[in-house]
């Protein structure tokens, strides 16, 4: 099988602490993969390694059959990987439209002109449900719309792979349902997705497969229902004593 993303035995430490300790990760084209684990398990560090914020101490990363190990964020973005951040980072004084228009100047197949960038930015805003707020300053948006805008900025780079870092954090159940539908809609356009989420309802609603990290190591991988019944996963989340009887 040809994998879109291959993370091979990657390691990264900070001050002697192993943030990522020999992790393998594979992503099939068109797949939605959930990346879960307790706080501090290495999930966001893994994203930072994939997009080039950090260079692995060891191991290799391949994307779309090309080596990307050690490449910087700009080069990785141009190859077709985009990410969102848990804490949204809009340009607050700029309009929603201009925030997304800026993204069309970067990434894979950037717009050739301001006119093209503006037209494509409007298409993206309609797709994510922000078309009616295109002239609103980004700083005036509520949380759910800031999350939408974060997605729009990432989609503006025309990614093949989208990394979503807790895009549903802080949303109420109705908003989570809407966000889940939007993630599936994005995958329907041909974009592959890796999603980090702490809310099981959200992650189970979109993921076809889960990878579980704990203290920088991969402790489980498989279908969602299989993972939910895995004793190692239960211990990692609930702190069950491995030596306890029963």
Residue 87 lies in a domain: no
C-alpha–C-alpha distance, residues 62 and 210, integer Å: 20
What is the total count of domains within the chain?
Answer: 1
C-alpha–C-alpha distance, residues 237 and 127, integer Å: 36
Residue 16 lies in a domain: yes
Q: Which residue has the tokens 């041909």?
A: 190
Q: What is the pLDDT of residue 243?
A: 47
C-alpha–C-alpha distance, residues 232 and 211, integer Å: 12
Residue 154 lies in a domain: no
User: Cα 154 vs. chain centroid, distance in angstroms?
Assistant: 10
Q: Which residue has the tokens 């060891």?
A: 58
Q: Which has the minimum average pLDDT: 49-58, 121-130, 183-192, 200-209?
A: 200-209
Relative to beta strand 32-36, strand 81-83 is: unpaired
Residue 63 lies in a domain: yes
pLDDT in tens, 45-92: 999 999 999 999 999 999 999 999 999 999 999 999 999 998 998 999
Q: What is the mean pLDDT of residues 163-173?
A: 92
Residue 105 lies in a domain: no
- For 110-148, letters b (16+ CB in 10 Å) and e give ebeeeeebbebbbebbebbbbeebbeebbeebeebbbbb
Residue 176 lies in a domain: yes
Instruction: Assign residue 217 the CATH number of its domain.
Output: 3.40.50.300
* Residue range of the domain that includes 19: 5-80+159-238
Across the chain, what does the average pLDDT equal?
92
Q: What is the pLDDT of residue 99?
A: 97
Q: What is the pLDDT of residue 201?
A: 82
Q: What is the mean pLDDT of residues 175-193?
A: 94
Count of Cβ atoms closer than 10 Å to residue 231 Cβ: 10
Residue 158 has pLDDT above 60, yes or no: yes
C-alpha–C-alpha distance, residues 90 and 54, integer Å: 23
Residue 187 has pLDDT above 60, yes or no: yes
On whether the pTM is more than 0.85, the answer is yes
Q: Which has the minimum average pLDDT: 119-128, 165-174, 232-241?
A: 232-241
Tell which wins on pLDDT, 136 or 245.
136
Q: Which has the minimum average pLDDT: 37-41, 122-126, 168-172, 234-238?
A: 234-238
User: Cα 134 vs. chain centroid, distance in angstroms?
Assistant: 24
Residue 17 lies in a domain: yes
Residue 71 lies in a domain: yes
SS3 assignment for the chain: CCCCEEEEEEEEEECCEEEEEEEEEEECCCCEEEEECCCCCCHHHHHHHHHCCCCCCEEEEEECCEECCCCCHHHHHHHCEEECCCCCCCCCCCEHHHHHHHHCCCCCCCCCCHHHHHHHHHHHHHHHCCHHHCCCEHHHCCHHHHHHHHHHHHHCCCCCEEEEECCCCCCCHHHHHHHHHHHHHHHCCCCEEEEECCCHHHHHHHCCEEEEEECCEEEEEECHHHHHCCHHHHHHHHCCCCCCCC
- Phi-psi domain of 27 (left: phi exceeds 0; alpha: psi -120 through 50; beta: other): beta
């Amino acid at each position: 099988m040809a994998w879109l993303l291959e993370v091979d035995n990657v390691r990264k430490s900070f001050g002697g602490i192993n943030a990522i300790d020999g992790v393998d990760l594979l992503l099939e084209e068109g797949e939605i993969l959930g990346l879960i684990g307790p706080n501090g398990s290495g999930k966001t560090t893994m994203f930072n390694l994939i997009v080039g914020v950090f260079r692995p101490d060891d191991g290799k990363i391949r994307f779309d059959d090309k080596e990307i190990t050690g490449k910087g964020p700009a080069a990785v973005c141009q190859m077709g990987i985009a990410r969102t951040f848990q804490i949204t980072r809009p340009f607050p004084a700029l309009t929603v439209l201009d925030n997304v228009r800026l993204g069309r100047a970067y990434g894979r197949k950037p717009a050739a002109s301001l006119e093209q960038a503006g037209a494509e930015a409007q298409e993206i805003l309609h797709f994510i449900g922000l078309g009616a707020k295109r002239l609103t300053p980004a700083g005036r948006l509520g949380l759910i719309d800031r999350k939408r805008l974060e997605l729009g900025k990432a989609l503006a780079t025309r990614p093949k792979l989208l990394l979503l870092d807790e895009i549903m954090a802080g949303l109420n159940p109705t908003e989570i349902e809407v966000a889940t539908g939007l993630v599936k809609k994005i995958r329907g356009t041909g974009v592959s997705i890796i999603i980090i989420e702490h809310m099981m309802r959200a992650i189970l609603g979109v993921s076809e497969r889960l990878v579980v990290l704990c203290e920088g190591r991969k402790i489980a991988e498989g279908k969602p229902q299989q993972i939910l019944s895995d004793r190692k996963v239960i211990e990692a989340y609930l702190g069950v004593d491995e030596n306890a009887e029963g």
